[in-house]
Amino acid sequence: MFKKLNILDENNPHLRKISIDAKLPLKKEYKDTINQIIKELTYSQIEEYATKYKLRPGMGLAFAQLGINERIIVIVHEYEDGKFNNYVFVNPRITSYSDEMIAAEAGEGCLSVNRDVEGHIKRHARVTVEGFDVDGNKIKVRAREELSIAFQHEIDHLNGILFYDRIDKNKPFFSEDEIRLI
């Protein structure tokens, strides 16, 4: 039985709150929510299931988007056709990042923003993220390119920032000469 998550809309004030550190190890209810998020994000990236369950494609979700203002993010990254890596970070922190900046050529989207928003968002091409797994063990990942963008996007949610807050109103688009578009 598949039950869709109740993802908050961009106008919900919960999305503008700064999330607090989650207590470890996570309670069973949170672990169950994480499993549900992984399932929905995975299904949303597989056309057959996305159509069947009317899911918008997404690769990440922060607990803040469910109205739970605790520092937990989930990313489901399709690294090869039909193959996924799941990243669950509790209390994540970006501990280092590259000087090189990139932007998603098509722009970014968000499961809480049910409209197209035009513009490029400058992100670090590579980030190192440290945090904890659901049982309280320290974990660390070095993310590149699309995965790096996803981590920065989801961690922004924990700080009350939506992706379009980062679009430069005076210069919403960059050329390949100005930034590497991926």
Residues recognised as catalytic: 154
Q: What is the C-alpha to C-alpha distance for residues 26 and 128, in angstroms, rounded to an integer?
A: 23
Q: How many CA atoms lie within 13 A of 142 on its CB side?
A: 3
Bridge partners for 129 per DSSP = 94, 141
Q: What is the C-alpha to C-alpha distance for residues 99 and 101, in angstroms, rounded to an integer?
A: 6
Closest CA to 147 of 114, 102, 112: 102
